[in-house]
Amino acid sequence: MQITVGELGKLLNGEIVGDADILISKVAKIEEGEHQALSFLSNPKYEQYLYITESSAVIVNKDFVPSAPVSTVMIKVDDAYASFTYILEKFGNVSSSKTGIDDSAVISTKVIIGKKVYIGAHCCIEENVEIGEDSKIYPQVFLGKNVKVGYNCIIFPGVKIYHDCVIGNNCIIHSGTVIGCDGFGFAPLPDRSYKKIPQTGNVIIEDDVEIGSNCSIDRATMGSTFIRKGVKLDNLIQIAHNVEIDEHTVIAGQAGIAGSSKVGKYCIIAAQVGIAGHLTIADGSVIGGQSGVSGSIKNPNKKWFGSPAFEYKDSIKSSIYFKQLPSFEKRISELENVIKELKKNNQS
């Protein structure tokens, strides 16, 4: 990355406040700025660093008014966070430049590979796989029979995608994730042992999905497990068989969703949330960290918290009362003693 502040301003349709000829060669957090670095400021909590940062330029919102002298160059834009994200995508994505097929990759002759595809060392790609144009398959990835990968995907090292699964366009799957492993299905027998139920379905991941590292997405018993368009999954997430995650829902790390549950659109599920099986979560639901959802959520666009989870405001009130239980117990004991004393006096 070698670009002047003025050129950045044109790319971002921004207003330059300062020297437009200064050269930018890297990016940095505003509190860790250095010479020739570009930073951004969108959260007011970090404004203090604008006045002391060593970064050569900082992207800020157009309506931002500094409260002290600023020595760095400011690039004023409509949305500082979105603009900085655009710069990272344009100049920081080294993974998008690779092409070619490594000699050590094991690839079936019955494979369709698009233009400008990269396949790294020691990949194993079985028959009838399709890989779309501009996709990058990093070392030690396994793609089972009949897997389809769309265009402009990035599949990082060590990902395993079992047979018949489908990956849409513009998807990113991080290292260690397994897609299409068997769902947890076992039938209890009279002798209290368990017989495995064949898992005959697949996983379908739609366009613009990003999946973090070490996630596990189980194939359906029958039909498909669905991860719909625009979903973002953090690291260490378990998605069970026949689950459906609808469009543009985000799920944070260590969350788990049990079999056949359906999560609506635009939901936000925080870390370590557990959702029981065969439930429906309404569109726009926000579920706080470590909550346990044991029943369906039918009302859209509400916040939930607790285990079992219930509406956020009520859960906060309940937690306040819960903290006061020791003092309540003491006061009740005192009242009981007063009542006993009154009864004793009345009897005498």
List residues with catalytic annotation.
241
Distance CA 185, CA 220 (A): 10
Per DSSP, the three-state class of 11 is: helix
Q: Which of 26, 24, 39, 43 is nearest to 70 (CA)?
A: 39
What's the DSSP call for residue 96?
G
Q: Which of 78, 83, 28, 82 is nearest to 56 (CA)?
A: 28
Tokens of 195: 């017989």
Distance CA 59, CA 81 (A): 8
For the CA atoms of 322, 326, 331, 332, the dihedral, rounded to the nearest 10 degrees, stands at 80
Distance CA 258, CA 271 (A): 15
Q: Is residue 44 packed enough to be buried (19+ CB in 10 Å), middle (13-18) or exposed (0-12)? A: exposed
Alpha helix (H) residue ranges in the chain: 5-12, 47-50, 80-91, 312-323, 325-347
The set of residues, in sequence order, having a beta carbon less than 8 Å from that of 116 and lying 6+ positions away, is 99, 133, 134
CA angle, residues 130, 206, 294, in degrees to nearest 5: 135
